[in-house]
Structure 1
Amino acid sequence: MEHPKSISARKAVQTTTGARGAQSLDRAATLLILVGRAGPSGARLADLIVQTDLTKPTVHRMLTALVRAGLLDQDPQTRRYHLGPEIYVLGTLASARFGLHPVSMRALTRLSQESGDSAFLSVAHDVYSICLHREDGPYPIKVQSLEAGDRHPLGVGAGSLALLSALPDREVDQIIAANADILSEKYPNYAGPALPRLVSETRRNGYAFNPGLMLSGSWAIGMAIRGEDGRPIGALSIGAIEGRLDAKRRHELKTLLRREADWIAMRLHQLRQGAARSRGR
């Protein structure tokens, strides 16, 4: 049996360790907030030290850990800290109560129920696309290629390809060039001349098509949601096993996707008009 003094000592160590862990989390959260408040210009290490009243080694160590996790980013030239890409992903996922996401939920439900398969909502961020939501239909076999929060280079996947193809040629070329290395390394089916060809096919067909280029047997069809200026604000896609996306069914799903993409665009326009009228009162 463990001696009572040993038990007390162990509990004291656990309590101390827990307190230190909570303190570290508090400090990390404070640094994230301070960097966010610094705005586009970013935050200097010296300023963060003053604002937190912590030692330079402590602040630097925590900032390095946050950069490593993708929650912060450090500009190599200015050495200033900015909010990182993972903060954007988390914020986008947390936006389920606002904007495009909640408006799209009814459309995603209709798509998943009418098709029987999985419906997805994606948005573009810089040269990547992010899946905001996945809504599964009643068909028992599900594709496993995409989940909420997943991020891929623009053009990789049906919804992502729809987003890329809806952009002007100059932007498409710039994005493909920026992602050239990662496409060659991790997405060989999209590397070289493949992605420009897929963009051309998407524009010609009126929808994006992924015949298992990311994951064998996992096919998908996608369509961009366009804003009032004609630019893509998001994309809807439907994923299914290969046998459920032949040419005839793709034509049927294209009609469903167009209907729901137009409905989302119209609904967003109505909400903006309503908000404008309210501000004018």
Structure 2
Amino acid sequence: MANLAEACAHEHDASEEKLRSGVQSIEVGFRLLEVLTHEPRAMMLRDLAQRAQMSPAKAHRYLVSFARLGVVAQDPLSGRYELGGFALQLGLARLARVDGVKLARQALAVLHEQRDLTVGIAVWGNQGPTVVHWIESSYPAKASLKLGDVMPLLSSATGLLFAAYLPRSKTAPMLERELAQQREPPPAHATPGLPRTQDDIERLLAEVRTHGAARVEGRLLPGINAFCVPVFDAAGNLALGLIALGRESAFEIHWESEARAALNECAQRLSYELGFSAKV
């Protein structure tokens, strides 16, 4: 019986190893497709092979097969290679099936589990930036936010992010209302530290675009710091914002903080999943 158990265990281990090993030739050939994906122009064989770290002869064999399948195409005049029609169909099929909010919910669940952060998702709705998902950390920040809340543009990290990346035609009415409130004399609704002129707004939004993230320090909710980072779609448009926040005493707000880095890494992965390719 012991020998039988050992044989079964050995067979199981071998089967698991086969699953992990995969097909190496596919992984090698994929390096060529990866290079072509990130190269904006068609490439000569020698340059493509060099970038994929293989010999031209080896690269050519893969390219012949890829061309038969329509994954790559070769220009008959220049001999240069580029992605083919089937590669486009693959991309379009992926984009048609992807759900950005669903992917973001899954990604934030992992981030929450790893770092115990209070995190959320916001999208642009009829009234402005709207919270559509929320997960509290084990030490709640007591933020008075709930699903469906519309965030102000000038006093929240979420609002600043959307104001920075959306077309001004979408955000102008909301910005004008909030700016008018700031210009009202005390004791109206003006909030200390918020922009009071269009030039102030432009400087603030330029900072968001420079850092690729928005932050507020105890502005919207007293004692609460927050970051919001962008997730872009295949066309380079803002698809949604990822939020992280916490109490001032436990949530560092400087640009190089661990929370901001983790949130940014999550957003970059999601942007990639949605088809976004950052310009170098």
TM-score interval (norm. to shorter): 0.5 to 0.7
Question: Where does structure 2 lack aligned partners over 5 or more consecutive residues?
Answer: 1-97
TM (norm. structure 2) is: 0.53
Cα distance, 1:229 vs. partner?
A: 1.6
One-letter amino acid matched to 1:233: A
1:266 aligned onto 2:272: yes
1:158 aligned onto 2:157: yes
CA distance in 1, matches of 2:267, 2:253: 21
Q: Equivalences for 1:1-281 in 2 at 5 Å? A: 99-126=99-126, 128-138=128-138, 140-168=139-167, 175-181=174-180, 186=189, 188-189=191-192, 190-193=194-197, 195-247=201-253, 250-269=256-275
Structure 1 residues 186 and 224: alpha-carbon distance in aligned structure 2, compared to 1, 3 A threshold: farther
Cα distance, 1:162 vs. partner?
A: 1.5
CA distance in 2, matches of 1:131, 1:155: 16
User: Which of the pair is proportionally richer in helix?
Assistant: 1
- Contact kept? 2:123, 2:241, Cα under 8 Å: yes
Structure 1 residues 223 and 158: alpha-carbon distance in aligned structure 2, compared to 1, 3 A threshold: same
Structure 1 residues 214 and 195: alpha-carbon distance in aligned structure 2, compared to 1, 3 A threshold: farther
CA distance in 2, matches of 1:252, 1:153: 26
TM (norm. structure 1) is: 0.53
CA distance in 1, matches of 2:190, 2:270: 31
- Contact kept? 1:145, 1:218, Cα under 8 Å: no
The superposition leaves residues 164-195 of structure 1 with CA deviations (integer Å, 9 ceiling, x where unpaired) of 21235666556522543456664624351354
Structure 1 residues 246 and 152: alpha-carbon distance in aligned structure 2, compared to 1, 3 A threshold: closer
One-letter amino acid matched to 2:243: S
CA distance in 1, matches of 2:105, 2:121: 9
- Contact kept? 2:227, 2:253, Cα under 8 Å: no
Structure 1 residues 110 and 195: alpha-carbon distance in aligned structure 2, compared to 1, 3 A threshold: farther
- Contact kept? 1:157, 1:214, Cα under 8 Å: yes
Structure 1 residues 181 and 115: alpha-carbon distance in aligned structure 2, compared to 1, 3 A threshold: farther
The superposition leaves residues 189-237 of structure 1 with CA deviations (integer Å, 9 ceiling, x where unpaired) of 4351354443122122221111011111011011011111211111001
SS in 2 for 1:131: strand
SS in 2 for 1:153: coil
CA distance in 2, matches of 1:186, 1:123: 26
CA distance in 2, matches of 1:249, 1:178: 29
Cα distance, 1:133 vs. partner?
A: 0.7
CA distance in 2, matches of 1:229, 1:222: 20
SS in 2 for 1:188: coil
CA distance in 1, matches of 2:264, 2:131: 19
One-letter amino acid matched to 1:198: L
Matched length: 172
Cα distance, 1:252 vs. partner?
A: 1.8
The superposition leaves residues 122-166 of structure 1 with CA deviations (integer Å, 9 ceiling, x where unpaired) of 01125611000111223x242414221111233441122212212
